[in-house]
Structure 1
Amino acid sequence: MAPVRRPHARTLAACLLAVPLLAGAVPGFASESVNGGGSPDVTRSLVKVYATKRLPDLARPWSKLPSAEVTGSGMVIAGRRILTSNHVVSYTSTVLVQPEGSSEKLRARVVAADLGIDLAVLEPEDTSLFAAYPPIAISDDLPDVGSPVAVYGYPTGGQSMSVTKGVVSRVEVADYFDALALRIQVDAALNPGNSGGPALVGDQLVGVAFSVANSTQNIGYLVPTEEVRSFLNAVDKGEAPAHPRLPISRQTLDNAALRSWLGLETAGQGDVITCLESELDDYPLKKWDVLSAIGEHDIDNSGLVELKPGLRVAADYFVPKLVHDGRVPMTVMRDGKRLQVEVPVAGAPDRVMKPLNGSYPSYFIVGPLTFSIAYLDHLPVLKTVLDPFLWRSSPILSRATAPSSFTGEELVLGPARLFSHRIAQGYSVPPFPVLKAVNGIPVRNLKHLVELIRDSRDRYLVFEWFDRDVESLVFNRDELLKSTDEVLADNDIRNAMSDDLLPTWQGR
């Protein structure tokens, strides 16, 4: 059977295999030309980025991990700004930039970010550096596959600038972080510290280094300048970056039997729709419609469109280019008829597990129990200990990229470990079980859990889990609430809950 393509859904493997290139990492502007003339000498536009990070501690959500000093790369761009990768400067308390060839480190602040394609813009406090360091020259074109490419930056292994060379291996539409966008694959050796660094073909920027493929050698990824320009144009307009997508799942028509079953000729072209996020009767697309064109661009049996001679990419490429008033023009084949339809687009998919996106986790401590939310950020942390979660049939794995079943749904996690307290004697639970119900009432989300405990008039509270073979926990409610202050004091924890939950607990 032809492979099913769900370009808007990140697979569990994709969540586990993303490897940012960050050295030392731990688990409206005035409108100006993006090019700004540009410098043909990339070294005059290169900077090293130093960041002090306090990442979330997912096992102790009331706390943060110890400060860590990390480094990345960046470049001067038009508008007296510096471009780098978002993951280099997220969760930072301090950001410094050091121009190539200078010993001076200058304070900078993050003024814009696109978490979807991992880009960020910095502004140094001292703008005098721009007199000596001009903006990098940005290419207007995508590089051809096979083009020689040079990647500049500050990877681990030394303090000075490094240059690695290779070729452009592939240009495709890929899922970054809930954003479908162009991505360039290169075989130049990229290492931690290269993130945010420029990749050049000739003397012009063609992409920004941001990650490598895991468990392989010499497969690195760049954010193409086309995506960089879209991001910077949004920043210049004071708009939030947007990555519209088609809220459908599709399957290729490479298989002859599939085409015959659909009543298509051998030469029929397009993608067939296998699933729709919308269940509205008047939705313009139907299951088993064949998408034959997006705008004026024909879609082939593999779901690809021609971007330029010799380069075909997924039809999703044209969604943000053609969207108008929230809709994209498409041509479909239905019951042997060719129809023109206007298809509504959607933003990031509403998944039950969402990324933290630079924020810190919500949490709620009651007695010896800590509850938090399952985020996509848990998956890389758990990748080395997957077996226990598999044996427990944990929803953390089975629903990692699943859509929400209802508005506001969250997977509520139990503690990484129980706090030591006499009322917890005799209980033992594995790390991060997923809460199913309290006193038989299904828990919808963390806020709902707080409400249930707040409003309960039952003498006992019974906590049950989705995970197989995890002990149910029963506590006297009054003892549970009374023990909370003792647990906080014994473990030097300042607050029993995150700020977003306090109004709920107080009944406001």
Structure 2
Amino acid sequence: MKKMSFALGLTLLILLTPLVASAALPDFKSLVREASPAVVNISTIPKTISSDSGPGSPFDQFDGQEVPEIFRHFFRGFPENAPRQQRPSPRSLGSGFIISEDGYVLTNHHVIQDAEKVIVRLNDRRELEAEVVGSDPRSDVALLKLDAVQLPYVRIGSSRDIEVGEWVLAIGSPFGFDYSVTAGIVSATERSLANDSYVPFIQTDVAINPGNSGGPLFNLDGEVIGINSQIYTRSGGFMGLSFAIPIDVAMEVSDQLRDTGTVARGWLGVVIQEVSRDLAESFGLDKPAGAVVVQVMPDSPAQGAGLKEGDVILSFNGNDIYLSSDLPHQVGRVRPGTEASVGIIRGGERISIPVTIGLLPDPDQLIAASGQPEQAQVDDLGLVVSPLTSEQQTRWNVRAGVVVAEVRDGPAAAAGLMVDDIITMLNGERIETVDQFDEVVARLPEDRAVPIRIVRRGNAMFIPLRPGG
């Protein structure tokens, strides 16, 4: 009898296991049926080019510079061996999705960049020429307008509520195969990528390939939570790392593009650095967090509000800053002219500073904004330093400091100081002369690390220095 019961139980377990497993997996069928009609394919007719205008592969160049193989925007045309064409013809470059029944469409900036005409193919096989309402390179978001009404459109969700591990789904046209569906999970949130300081990307393992760019990323409720934009790859194809623009960011951009055709971003005007464990100790922090201000740009909102080099920004508008990359994401989303609060620690004291956020300048404007002298031996640190010359002040845009002329064995060498480094601050005190530097060194504690701010070939940074090390 016991043997029969055991056998019966084992049989039921075998029969029920597939049902239990299938019940644990999401069913995407209804989501795909509902959402697919609002997803579109986007083709462009490029501006006229000559047959000798450059490499045939769209991957060969990016903004006139060589693109690293390891990481690149991936939907600038395909295949890699595409022939050069003297007469432009439509190219299927990516995807998009309709966000309103009167024909507004979201996609990526790089999908429609430098296009003479943009053609949108709908789910019912109609092909309509789209007007480019506006396009924003910094966020890689573009807003299009179709001359049509009563179009199917997606439901917009919120990217604020995304959790790592939840299921997501993408619909797009990889390699021109329209309405291809791929699914996966959210791998991480608020990822910062190279040259994308103002987008906190959603990282997923959804299979994304050339042609998915600009397409929607859905949650299980059928709401769009992101725009598929980039991949991390060594081969040009999917390798398990895909990145989407959060829909909250995309909708803020699209609203501005619809209203004005341009995007105005907030600007604080500081150069910042990550807080390492040693730097956290030197600044008196309980744990490594926040963003160290290594430079305050002239005539910036930060300068006007009184922020200083050596301040550690721990919060912005009440939101904690854990990594330095969190700060540009938050500042960029604030409308210029708005007052914000910046929580900092200065000299061991936590204070809040009100700042009126400015308008982020163009990149070129930001770049534009940045006999043997007597020497003194500093035995305690193993340094020989010299006064800062006027030529060095002009060349490296430094107002005051001392120059490292020689590094000998000692704490300075252990900290990584190098000849020609310009020391502008030590243990929270600004350095202006050799004598002052000598006095500050004499007062340094030997039982803990202290922060030292240097300018190395024009780049400002803080490093931890252990005087007694």
Relative to the length of structure 1, the TM-score reads 0.52
Of 144, 148, 162 in structure 1, the residue corresponding to residue 167 of structure 2 is 148
**Residue in structure 2 matched with residue 69 of structure 1 by the alignment:** 90
Query: How far apart are 1:210 and its partner, in Å?
Result: 1.6
The CA distance in 2 between the partners of 1:183 and 1:253, in whole Å, is 22
**Residue in structure 2 matched with residue 316 of structure 1 by the alignment:** 328
The CA distance in 2 between the partners of 1:329 and 1:177, in whole Å, is 26
**Residue in structure 2 matched with residue 350 of structure 1 by the alignment:** 363
Q: In the alignment, is residue 92 of structure 1 matched against residue 136 of structure 2?
A: no
**Residue in structure 2 matched with residue 181 of structure 1 by the alignment:** 199
Q: In the alignment, is residue 47 of structure 1 matched against residue 40 of structure 2?
A: yes
Q: In the alignment, is residue 209 of structure 1 matched against residue 228 of structure 2?
A: yes
Query: How far apart are 1:137 and its partner, in Å?
Result: 0.7
In the alignment, residue 98 of structure 2 is paired with which amino acid? V
Deviation digits for residues 312-367 of structure 1, max 9, x if unmatched? x813333245556255321222223333323444515634899xxxxxxxxxxxxx
Is contact 1:40–1:136 with CA below 8 Å preserved after alignment? no
The CA distance in 1 between the partners of 2:294 and 2:253, in whole Å, is 32
The CA distance in 2 between the partners of 1:177 and 1:195, in whole Å, is 18
**Residue in structure 1 matched with residue 184 of structure 2 by the alignment:** 166
Q: In the alignment, is residue 340 of structure 1 matched against residue 352 of structure 2?
A: yes
Give the aligned length. 300
Is contact 1:272–1:291 with CA below 8 Å preserved after alignment? yes
Query: How far apart are 1:172 and its partner, in Å?
Result: 1.0
**Residue in structure 2 matched with residue 359 of structure 1 by the alignment:** none
Partner SS, residue 41 of structure 1? helix
Deviation digits for residues 112-136 of structure 1, max 9, x if unmatched? 22222112122223x1xx43x3110
RMSD (Å) for aligned C-alpha atoms:
3.5
Query: How far apart are 1:152 and its partner, in Å?
Result: 0.5
**Residue in structure 1 matched with residue 241 of structure 2 by the alignment:** 219
In the alignment, residue 272 of structure 1 is paired with which amino acid? V
Of 343, 365, 377 in structure 2, the residue corresponding to residue 331 of structure 1 is 343
Work out which of the two has the higher radius of gyration on C-alpha atoms and give 1 or 2: 2
Partner SS, residue 106 of structure 2? strand
**Residue in structure 2 matched with residue 114 of structure 1 by the alignment:** 136
The CA distance in 2 between the partners of 1:213 and 1:98, in whole Å, is 28
The CA distance in 2 between the partners of 1:153 and 1:229, in whole Å, is 19
The CA distance in 2 between the partners of 1:326 and 1:56, in whole Å, is 44
Query: How far apart are 1:66 and its partner, in Å?
Result: 5.4
Relative to the length of structure 2, the TM-score reads 0.56
The CA distance in 1 between the partners of 2:307 and 2:50, in whole Å, is 43
**Residue in structure 1 matched with residue 103 of structure 2 by the alignment:** 80
The CA distance in 2 between the partners of 1:223 and 1:353, in whole Å, is 25
The CA distance in 1 between the partners of 2:321 and 2:96, in whole Å, is 37
* Cα distance change of structure 1 residues 57 and 328 upon mapping to structure 2, 3 Å threshold: farther
The CA distance in 1 between the partners of 2:129 and 2:191, in whole Å, is 35
The CA distance in 2 between the partners of 1:178 and 1:329, in whole Å, is 24
Partner SS, residue 111 of structure 2? helix
Q: Which aligned pairs between 1:255-334 and structure 2 lie closer than 5 A?
A: 255=277, 257-262=278-283, 264-266=284-286, 270-278=290-298, 284-300=306-322, 302-303=323-324, 314-322=326-334, 325=337, 327-334=339-346
* Cα distance change of structure 1 residues 252 and 178 upon mapping to structure 2, 3 Å threshold: closer
The CA distance in 2 between the partners of 1:348 and 1:176, in whole Å, is 19
Partner SS, residue 237 of structure 1? helix
Is contact 2:204–2:243 with CA below 8 Å preserved after alignment? yes
Structure 2: stretches of 5+ with no match in the other structure: 1-30, 55-84, 368-394, 398-469
In the alignment, residue 86 of structure 1 is paired with which amino acid? H
**Residue in structure 2 matched with residue 253 of structure 1 by the alignment:** 275
Percent of residue pairs bearing the same amino acid type: 22
* Cα distance change of structure 1 residues 212 and 175 upon mapping to structure 2, 3 Å threshold: closer
